[in-house]
A = this chain, B = another copy of it.
Amino acid sequence: MAQAKGIGVLTGGGDCPGLNAVIRAVTKTAINVYDYEVIGFLDGFKGLVENNYINLDLEKVSGIAHIGGTILGTTNRDNPFRYMTGGTPENPEFTDQSDRAIENLKKLGLEGLIIIGGDGSLNIAYKFYEKGVPVVGVPKTIDNDLAATDVTFGFNTAVDTASEALDRLHTTAESHHRVMILEVMGRYAGWIALHAGVSGGADVILIPEIPYDIEKVINKIKERYRQNKKFSIIVVAEGARPKDGEMVVQKVVPQSHDPIRLGGIGNKVAEEIEKRAGIETRVTVLGHLQRGGSPVPYDRILATRYGVAAVDAFARGEFGTMVALKGTDIVTVPLVEAIKELRKVPLDSDLIHAARSVGISFGD
């Protein structure tokens, strides 16, 4: 790789519909527009530390925009700054392997990195930037809870999946006169629950931002009974919690989404409804179905715009930034701004207002 410029790209954290569309856009733009060579590190930061990679050319990224997952592989762990280099899975020993990662970049003659990931991966990206590595980030979270960008790719696909699930549960709820609960992702922010609930005609939406009172939930169900609607649909974000109680999840592993079993809040709500109101209630946990599958067009397009913009930003030397959507425009924002906090649903958002106006209860 004597003279040609080169950049590396990797995907970190949980998989998300649209990752391949970003990888394709990054690779095509880097090659077509800037005459870069492109290296794809495998399995997130692990490939960077272990120097495990593939060359990305136009052929390899052809026809992948509509395919879910990531052709580069990913992992939820393997932080180079706290990398497991000994011990056992139960009792691991961690060391800082970031210099080894940077050494690999140099040996490969790469000018820098495009890092596609959520708050965990972008935190790592920022640390590399602080150590002098030219880095541009691409925001990735199905939950849509990343600060500094209006929308992340994958989110609309997840809403689509959850909304379709609600359509399915609706017919069963109505036929059997039941309460049907759908538990969706959203540990800290209720974006998926809120959007899917409005789209899918939910009667109650429970989100982390609005602690709920189970009596209010039951009142809503009973009010519907009195209107001769003998069924109700409830969407629960996994991080929803009662007003007077704890979040059902105790253990929270930082920067990780999958490993923790969050199940419980949907069941908890169901049990209380059955116990207190005596109405048959069923729970469906959507789980991994929200992450997989082909991205909806909105996400393919957003992912493509992000991928192109990230290489453009890299070429302009805007390191330590992340591409973001603001209104209808793609912009760059400092990485540090992006990772400082999660973007929660504002209580005065017009979508919450709209939801209440069409009769949806938030259990408050």
Let me know if A169 and B288 touch, CB within 8 A.
yes
| Interface pick from A66-74, A104-112, A122-130 | A66-74
Q: Which stretch (A48-56, A158-166, A237-245) binds chain B?
A: A158-166
Which residues of chain B have C-beta atoms less than 8 A from A293's C-beta? 164, 167-168, 171
Q: Does A357 contact B (CB under 8 A)?
A: yes
Closest to A61 in B: B358
CB neighbours of A288 from chain B (8 A):
168-169, 172, 180, 282, 284
**Identical copies in the complex:** 4
Known A-B contacts A156-B298, A160-B296, A168-B288; the reply to A329 vs B350 at CB < 8 A is yes
Interface residue? A120 (CB, 8 A):
no
Q: Which of A250-297 touch B at CB < 8 Å?
A: 258, 282, 284-285, 287-289, 291-294, 296-297
Residue A201 is within 8 A (CB to CB) of chain B in the complex: yes
Cβ–Cβ contact A357 & B301, under 8 A: no
Q: How far does the Cβ of A297 sit from chain B's closest Cβ, in whole Å?
A: 4
A37 within 8 A of B: no
Number of chain A interface residues as a range: 35 or more
- A228 vs chain B, min Cβ distance (A): 9
Closest to A74 in B: B175
**Interface pair A358/B28, CB less than 8 Å apart:** yes
Contact partners of A284 in chain B: CB under 8 A: 287-289
Interfacial residues, chain A to chain B (CB-CB below 8 A): 11, 14-15, 17, 19, 24-25, 28-29, 32-33, 43, 58, 62-63, 65-70, 73-76, 150, 156, 159-161, 163-165, 167-172, 174-177, 180, 195-196, 198-201, 227, 229, 258, 282, 284-285, 287-289, 291-294, 296-298, 300-301, 304-305, 308-309, 311-312, 326-330, 350-351, 353-355, 357-359
Q: Find chain B residues with CB under 8 A from A25 CB.
A: 354, 357-358
Q: Is the CB of A301 within 8 A of B199?
A: yes
Q: Is the CB of A304 within 8 A of B198?
A: yes
